[in-house]
Structure 1
């Protein structure tokens, strides 16, 4: 196997405790030449969906890497620890709870998936509450240094799939679920469209290529950097204006020329 010099790291561990540092330390001991890209450790606690979206929308911009992702409310239960090799040569390591599948799809799809059962790949005694340190970090490090994934456990083909977001086409537009809200208050929707948007949840809005396509304080709908429609307010927060959070549904009023996805 060929070494992969990069490891990306995504968790809900936060920055107040030593959890991230402990995982960095395990990696440094097993794969001292690996370089780590910390994607984020501020995923809301246990928010698998948010983590899966962040990961899937980030990995296409990263070099070939082992993508270590741990948002694991089922840690210590029957849920499986897994590793995936993608068709583009990346690896993903984490819990089998739907977290990794969207990122694998963004990287060309799954080539091989393994249920991590070989304890020789782990760190000594495995804590029932910290698989990030004791299972996932050492597995990521071993893959980064070139160890053979096929020896890490048993091949599987029944990965846990993430829930599909709600999208409905209507005669006047589309109803789409909110995927994410970023720190600027921009509201990412589970849809794409080439259309003339005239309203969002009953409020006047316009389509635009940039946030500045409308006057300050006005609603604009743009195609964001991940290819989804996002609702924004020029120099303001669409989430606050429309009182929206992930999981809510948004109604877009769209002209007759709409091509919806």
Structure 2
């Protein structure tokens, strides 16, 4: 038996507006299995949403993945759908949100602007494209409508993340977002850490802005309430506090720069 088409939804809308999008998708594609992956992406946080999709979608069934974190809704930015090398379709705004996940799913094979009025709701609000444009497109793709029927081909805009900066004895990187536990996910990886300082054993102490942190494998490797630098489940570096919030402790938010240095005891 052929399994039903799978359709996931990720937004920064909260439950009610995301539920409306799920209802539109379910009404137009009644055979589809619709799952809300998350409605709790931080408001307007395109980078956070993009990296959640990059991390999550490879673990989900091949299907249609609707994602809306869209501070530019109603502006000339394009609504798009992307076909990936794995065979998934990603639907959302052309603001970089979809590209990291597409690359994790085998790359962008094809992308189209969602401009066919027959594949939208009859009335399109200027502020709720999730309901009126994206959810209908996702449903029609789940129903088997060919991507080429949606509109003009284009190359999606990449997600812009500042590259880490390797200086003399230091690693500069940006805070990408705080996760739900208050850990600060950074725009650098353990490979960048090794490039800056050479191989580091767990237990090595580093500092940023006068704050000491331990390079550790997991939270329980440091005492309760103590800070650590670790590799999170996405493979990026992160600052955390064992049974606490690094975002609250350090007063850092997305976009702030952190410069790490190894503490060399004399």
Q: TM-score, normalised by structure 2?
A: 0.88
> Contact 1:115/1:156 (CA < 8 Å) preserved in 2?
yes
User: What does residue 102 of structure 2 align with?
Assistant: 104
> Contact 1:192/1:223 (CA < 8 Å) preserved in 2?
yes
1:9 partnered with 2:9: yes
1:166 Cα deviation (Å)? 4.3
1:251 partnered with 2:248: no
2:169 to 172, 193, 197: 172
For CA contacts below 8 A with separation 6 or more, give which structure has more relative contact order: 1
1:200 Cα deviation (Å)? 3.0
User: What does residue 233 of structure 2 align with?
Assistant: 225
**Aligned partner of residue 65 in structure 2, secondary structure:** strand
2:121 to 120, 123, 126: 123
User: What does residue 148 of structure 2 align with?
Assistant: 150
User: What does residue 242 of structure 2 align with?
Assistant: 234
1:67 Cα deviation (Å)? 1.0
**Distance in 2 (alpha carbons) for counterparts of 1:77 and 1:6:** 30
1:255 Cα deviation (Å)? 7.5
Report Cα offsets for 1:110-148 as digits up to 9, x if no partner: 000001121111111222222111111011011112111
**Distance in 1 (alpha carbons) for counterparts of 2:158 and 2:71:** 16
1:205 partnered with 2:213: yes
> Contact 1:174/1:254 (CA < 8 Å) preserved in 2?
no
Between stretches 200-209 and 173-182, larger displacement belongs to: 200-209
1:140 to 138, 141, 148: 138
Between stretches 170-179 and 45-54, larger displacement belongs to: 45-54
1:91 partnered with 2:89: yes
1:186 Cα deviation (Å)? 1.0
1:34 Cα deviation (Å)? 1.1
Structure 1: gaps of 5 or more residues = 257-261
Q: What does 1:64-83 align with in structure 2 at a 5 Å threshold?
A: 64-83=62-81
1:184 to 177, 181, 184: 181
**Distance in 2 (alpha carbons) for counterparts of 1:36 and 1:94:** 16
**Aligned partner of residue 117 in structure 1, secondary structure:** coil
**Aligned partner of residue 179 in structure 1, secondary structure:** strand
**Distance in 1 (alpha carbons) for counterparts of 2:177 and 2:246:** 12
**Distance in 2 (alpha carbons) for counterparts of 1:143 and 1:34:** 10
**Distance in 1 (alpha carbons) for counterparts of 2:238 and 2:45:** 21
Q: TM-score, normalised by structure 1?
A: 0.90
1:216 partnered with 2:213: no
**Distance in 2 (alpha carbons) for counterparts of 1:85 and 1:119:** 20
* Superposition CA RMSD, Å: 2.0
